[in-house]
Amino acid sequence: MSDIPPGLPPFMGSPAGGPPPMASGGSFAQSLGAFGTMLKIQETISTRFPISKVPWRDTRVFLRAHSIESIRSTPLYGFMMRLFKDVGLGDMQLVGYAPMHYVFAVPGCPVCNIYPALHNQKVCVATTDALHRFFKEELELECMVEETECVKDSGAVCKFKVALQPISAYQVLLDDNDRLILSGKRPPAMEQPELVSRVEVLTIYKLLDRGKLSDIGEAYMQFAGSMPVKEKIFDPPWKTAEELRSIISKHGAFGAAFGEMATKVQSVQHSALEMPSSPPASSTPSTSSVPSLSSAPAAPSVQEQASKIKDEAKNAGSFAELIAKMKKQN
């Protein structure tokens, strides 16, 4: 890792902790080719990710699913796998799950192929970074991402583990009805099967223990009560694509479909113009140059609240420590 391959321009030398050098040992042309492929992936991520923000309502469906099969059938999962494929990171799939832990595998990982001469190390930094960025920015879920197995490191397949930060997962997972249940009240007009399924999810997430509020649940309820967060409501990024698909299948002919699609796109643009202006939600430089039809502007106070929780979470070394801190504050 430390020796820079001969012929590489100095800016491609890998700083400590940075991505591995491209195709070390290969020819200069090969290195440039690899560099170009990486640039292309990064560029596509910068264009596509900022317009892929997912509302909590849809992320909640993903978080509530607690078997590999049910997670795979959520719209968010389908959207995420298509997005990762589109940006050039390959055919990713969920292969492992535990509450707040997701293991994704990429058979025939294209990122590995960029480094033909590298061996005995995990090289898929681009995929690790993209997973982290997608969960953190598009889903608003703080997490740790690690490549646990890599084809370049004698793995059968490249595998990536995403571990969600609990406080941030709870913030997205719980809706008003869950909070009612946690405070010991039955939500009005809720049917028994839904109540049972919600209690099951709250138990899986360790907020309830044998039907009672757990220590974690108690601490979180105190914490959440002191920091109310207003949920942003907007359409998921896959909605427009689905509408267009249904228009095309309805008309059966491209010409007829085109007229209706044009009307649809105009109306989407029109409603986008009517949205109140507000400061950009993130400091990503590409955000301003990209049409963000589906990203909802955040009220600054909500943003501040969220970042406060995130800062708290970051400053605490562990969940237990955070819970302890939260208990002291109340």
Q: Which is nearer to Zn ion, 35 or 104 (CB)?
A: 104
**Minimum distance of Zn ion from residue 138's CB (angstroms):** 22
Q: From the list 89, 100, 114, 150, which residue makes contact with Zn ion (rule: CB under 5 A)?
A: 150
At position 246, the amino acid (one-letter code) is S
Q: What count of other Cβ atoms lies within 10 Å of the Cβ of residue 4?
A: 14
Q: Which CB, 131 or 150, lies closer to Zn ion?
A: 150
Where would I find the H helices in 144-299?
166-173, 176-182, 192-204, 215-226, 239-251, 254-273
**Maximum C-alpha span of the chain:** 71
Report how many residues bind Zn ion under the rule CB under 5 A: 4
The Cα-based distances of 138 to 48, 79, 185, 196, 213 in angstroms read: 11, 12, 32, 30, 30
Closest approach of Zn ion to the CB of residue 106, in Å: 7
Looking at the Cβ atoms of 150 and 201, the one nearer to Zn ion is 150
Q: Which span (92-100, 117-125, 166-174, 242-250) binds Zn ion, by CB under 5 A?
A: 117-125
CA distance 288 to 274: 17
Which stretch in 22-30, 57-65, 155-163, 169-177 sits in contact with Zn ion by CB under 5 A? 155-163
Minimum Å gap between C-beta 157 and Zn ion is 8
In angstroms and rounded to an integer, the radius of gyration of the C-alpha atoms of the chain is: 22
Nearer to Zn ion, 112 or 172 (CB): 112
87 binds Zn ion (CB under 5 A): no
Interaction between residue 126 and Zn ion (CB under 5 A): no
Q: Is the dihedral of CA 247, 248, 251, 257 positive or negative?
A: positive
User: Interacting stretch for Zn ion, rule CB under 5 A, among 33-41, 96-104, 142-150, 201-209?
Assistant: 142-150
112 scored as a contact of Zn ion (CB under 5 A) = yes
Closest to Zn ion by CB, 118 or 201: 118
- Give 103 or 158: the residue with its C-beta nearer to Zn ion: 158
Reduced 3-state DSSP string for 205-226? CCCEECCEECHHHHHHHHHHHH
Binding marks (x or -) toward Zn ion, 158..197, rule CB under 5 A? Answer: x---------------------------------------
Smallest CA-to-CA distance from 188 within 174, 170, 176, 199 is with 176
Residue closer to Zn ion by CB (options 109, 221) is: 109
Which region among 48-56, 92-100, 137-145, 156-164 touches Zn ion (by CB under 5 A)?
156-164
CA pair distance 2, 17, nearest whole angstrom: 11
Taking the least distance from each CB to Zn ion, the nearer of 57 and 132 is 132
Stretch that binds Zn ion, among 17-25, 91-99, 151-159, 209-217 (CB under 5 A): 151-159
Three-state secondary-structure class, residue 97: strand
Q: Would the CA dihedral through 14, 20, 23, 25 be positive or negative?
A: positive
Map tokens 């002191």 to a residue: 226
> Which residues make up the interface to Zn ion (CB under 5 A)?
112, 124, 150, 158
